[in-house]
Chains A and B, each alone.
Chain A
Amino acid sequence: MKVGYLLMASILFILWYLIFVNKETEGFVHAGYASTSMLVGIAILGAYVGALYKPRISSLSAIGSFFNDRMYLPYLNDYIIPKIGFFVAHLVHGYGNRGIDGFFNTMVMPGLFALISRIIRRIQSGYLVHYIKVVLGIVMMILILAAIGGVYLYP
């Protein structure tokens, strides 16, 4: 474990070196040197160094062992992280997929099309009088609009 932390921290130094020495990354240095990015980098480095030393207090070792060996890491790995994953998967599957599927394939859009289709077909009452009223109404309305439009376009 210590070797692993050591290697990771060393890579940070290598990256730091490359960023400051390379010509290509000069822009990054100028843009971020005075900003919080340096502080973030130092904080990460500090965390790694702290992790390498891992200060231990003997009177609290029982609690440390309890969390470290028995509860904390197994619980984190076996319960909390999978639960988060399951929750995200549930969101995507339950609401995302089902929502998209329901909207486009099974419920909303097909239902909407079926409703509009029935409305379109409801006009077909079979009575000639009804059809004549509909057709003449539409024709008269469009002719009036056309007449107004004709006057408006080029009076």
Chain B
Amino acid sequence: MTAVTLTLVALVILVLGAVGSFKFRPLGFLGALIAILIGLGTCPFYYGIFIFAIALVNLLSLTALPDMIKGVDYSLVGLMALATMYIFTTHDFAMVLVALVLVSVPTYILVMLRADKANIEVGIKYITFMVLATVMFLIGAVILLYAHAHGAAAGNFSFIYAVGYVMLILGLSLEVGVAPLHEWVPDVFTAGDPIPISIIASLAKVVPFVAALWILIPISNVITPAMVLFTAVLAAISMFTGNIGALTAREPARVLAYSTVANMGYVLSSFVVIANHEYVYFAIAGGLLMLFANAVGKIGFFNAIKGEGAYSPFMYILAFSFIGVPPLMGFWGKLYILFSMAKMEYFWLVAIMVINSAISIPYYIRLAGELGVSWRMNLLNFICLVVVIITLVTVLFVPVDWFFKNIALVANSLGVVI
């Protein structure tokens, strides 16, 4: 069966599960689980395993919420996971944009979930920015393809290309929370329920980056190096804003919000490779590992907030991964990103990333200390255990060249042939 057929079958099962969940909530969970298992067959193996694991942990953590919308919340997470897996399969520009929308829109509903009633205030704030972000991304992508089709590669339509590039990057920045367009992140992360916020901070972050790379890499041209400098400056601003902002933040959710701003800056910095495809494998490997490390770390910390603390050693392992202590997952992400930047001779950005990793140490350690408690047998602690195991995968299977090799498939699907 082709990837499209598998995805369609998974979608049908997902819908059936969502409908059935109105009578019996676990059917939504079951439908989502089967759908993402089928989705595994549509994408590169290791990438798919990571997405599957993150989606599964998100599904499990949703069971800690009351059934406000029955089991449809499971189906929404399943849909996001399917779209995240599918984006590596398609070579169709329109389908990439569809995947972006399919990941973004379910979060509009998820963000409003909480124990008693819908969180309208957070919903309005979040949806306003997400709609703006998605519209800017889509317009930027269309403008870029238009410029490419009319000879941007030869230096024509550079004005159109520059505007399209900036719109796409700004749309991406708004979508994932890159500074200085991060204003919604601290408010939404603090006011929302920790469980849906953990989904927004984890699974929802992958597709926007991959979609942007998918569009930008194949159409890079003579003015791309100049435009990449803009991306690098934006990444640097985001790193400093996130890490310094987190230093004096008191609430754990707010600290995690600023941590997200900083981490998105790290991932965005890997975009410097789009000016030279030679090192794109390193950048994509680093960017994805960084996104996975960020995802599992955020799930762990937000679940700890929900459960008023989690087992202390788990918290410290996640904090060390965020800081970039080898050989945890966060370290490999940063290493590959730094390597790609150094190869592109962006040494100033390398220095900024290293300095920012150092700045982040105090607040991650403080966060782990505040959320760390003694062992308790409950679902949220079990979820923290699972995310710690995922974080330790890179320790158990060192070196991580298995993931790097798998990236070749990813790069091929991005239209990059090296």
A residues neighboring B (CB under 8 Å) = 113-114, 116-118, 120-121, 123-124, 126, 128, 131-132, 134-135, 138-139, 142-143, 146-147, 149-151, 153-155
Contacts and interface: CB of A to CB of B under 8 A. Distances in A.
Interface majority SS on A: helix, strand, loop or mixed? helix
A126 B183 CA distance: 9
Given A135-B181, A139-B170, A153 B163 contact: no
B125 interface: yes
B166 interface: yes
Interface residues of B, number: 37
A28 B178 CA distance: 65
Contacts of A150: 158-163, 223
A153 B221 CA distance: 13
Contacts of A113: 244, 247, 359
Contact of A146 (B128, B163, B174, B186): B163
Given A114-B248, A131-B184, A143 B167 contact: yes
Nearest to B154: A154
Given A120-B244, A132-B128, A153-B158, A146 B165 contact: yes
Interface majority SS on B: helix, strand, loop or mixed? helix
B132 A124 contact: no
B137 interface: no
- Name the residue among A124, A126, A134 with the largest chain B CB count within 10 angstroms: A124
A139 B181 contact: yes
B159 A114 contact: no
- Name the residue among B125, B161, B248, B359 with the largest chain A CB count within 10 angstroms: B248
B166 A146 contact: yes
B170 A154 contact: no
A154 B223 contact: yes
Interface of B: 124-125, 128-129, 132, 136, 155-156, 158-163, 165-167, 170, 174, 180-181, 183-184, 186-187, 222-223, 226, 230, 241, 244-249, 359
16 contacts: A113-B247, A117-B246, A121-B249, A124-B187, A131-B183, A131-B184, A131-B187, A135-B129, A135-B174, A135-B181, A135-B183, A142-B166, A150-B158, A150-B160, A150-B163, A154-B156
A153 B226 contact: yes
Contacts of A134: 180, 183
Nearest to B147: A150
A53 to B, nearest CB: 66
A147 B162 contact: yes
Contacts of B249: 117, 121
Nearest to B223: A153
Contacts of B359: 113
Contacts of A147: 159, 162-163
